[in-house]
Amino acid sequence: MVEQCIVPAESRIHVLQSKLGHCKQQILRLEKSRRDEQSRLDTAEEELKSMKCHPLRKNEHKSQAEEIEKLP
């Protein structure tokens, strides 16, 4: 059995098109936010790489105090 709908098809199509437009705008905003966050992450990673010593690298570079302690 096919159900009949009182709301005209054109009206339903318009509502769906409006929702689609809203979803597309939201996707664009989210993509921009993701790009911005990725850019911030890339910048932070570059800054971290440029540091001589940082908390994520273990024992790659010894501190000057450790080097001085080893001197005879």
pLDDT band at 5 (very low <50, low <70, confident <90, very high): confident
Specify the pLDDT at position 56: 64
User: Do the Cβ atoms of 16 and 7 come closer than 8 Å?
Assistant: no
Express as a percent the part of the chain with pLDDT over 90: 49
Q: Could you tell me if 16 and 10 are in contact, meaning their C-beta atoms sit under 8 angstroms apart? A: no
What's the CA gap between 67 and 63, in Å, rounded? 7
pLDDT tens digit sequence for 40-52:
999 999 988 887 6
Look up residue 7 and give its two tokens.
Answer: 């709301």
Residues 63-72 have pLDDT tens digits of: 555 655 565 5
Q: Would you say the pTM of this structure is higher than 0.75? A: no
